[in-house]
Amino acid sequence: MKGVFVTGTDTGIGKTLVSAWLAQHWRADYWKPVQTGALEDSDSDTIAQLAPDARIHPPAYVFKAPLSPHEAARREGARIDLSALIPPAVPGPLVVEGAGGVMVPLNELALMVDLMERLKLPAIVVARTALGTINHTLLTLDLLRRRRVPILGVVLNGQRNPGNRQAIEQFGAVPILAELQPLLAVTAKVIAGLPPPAFHMPES
């Protein structure tokens, strides 16, 4: 399978924006395995707007509460079963978007990184550029390495910060794949106008 797993250092860090950017430029399919906060706009809905040509595969689990997956599931008397999180079989590339970051619990035992380990897709870590990012990004990379999840690199999202970029490259020993600036409007057209990814969708 050809694809990437888009994770991040936090919730609301830009994973969906980065997924839309990749889906548009790579003509990739999109899959969010677990969606919480389903009463608000789902990430799949956002991708449908931001990457209108992308084929979107429905999540395996959808929960109403805008909470960590383990808790959102529990409130509905449900439990996320990792073996039910099977990526759609697609001929082309697939962009998979996590929920929150790598240590978000999926059930009473498993974390998001356990799913990433199972799927074996190379990870893209979306990180902010602002203060705090060095710590969050290095912690995320460290866990992924210890769990032998292949790391494609980091996408920095926000106002340029060369010092933080350099520290993440140096201490994280990781390529910075792209830097996305703050956008005045987040639309399909604006995303289409961004420079295309200067890296390839890897064969997994």
Among 58, 132, 182, 202, binds ligand ATP (CB under 6 A): 182
189 catalytic per annotation = no
**Rounded CA separation 14/20 (Å):** 10
Of 46, 52, 20, which is closest to residue 126 (Cα–Cα)?
20
Among positions 4, 43, 119, 133, the unique one binding ligand ATP when judged by CB under 6 A: 43
**Which residue from 117, 108, 42 is spatially nearest to 85, judged by alpha carbons?**
117
Q: Is 37 annotated as a binding residue?
A: no
The one of Mg ion, ligand ATP, none whose footprint includes residue 102, by CB under 5 to 8 A per kind, is none
Position 29 contacts ligand ATP (CB under 6 A):
no
Residue 129, annotated as binding a ligand: no
Query: How far apart are the C-alpha atoms of 159 and 107, rounded to whole Å?
Result: 35
Distance, CA of 151 to CA of 147 (rounded, Å): 11
Q: Which does 17 bind (CB under 5 to 8 A by kind): ligand ATP, Mg ion, none?
A: ligand ATP
Where residue 148 falls (left for φ over 0; alpha for ψ -120 to 50; beta otherwise) is left
Q: How near is the Cβ of 76 to ligand ATP at its closest, in Å? A: 19
Around Cβ 173, how many Cβ atoms within 10 Å?
A: 11
Name residue 96's amino acid.
V
The reply, when asked if residue 100 is annotated as ligand binding, is yes
In the set 2, 32, 64, 120, the catalytic residue is 32
In the shown chain, the binding pattern of residues 129 to 168 toward ligand ATP, with x for contact by CB under 6 A and - for none, equals ----------------------------x-----------
Catalytic residue set: 32
Contact residues: ligand ATP, CB under 6 A: 8, 11-17, 43, 99-100, 157, 180, 182-183, 186
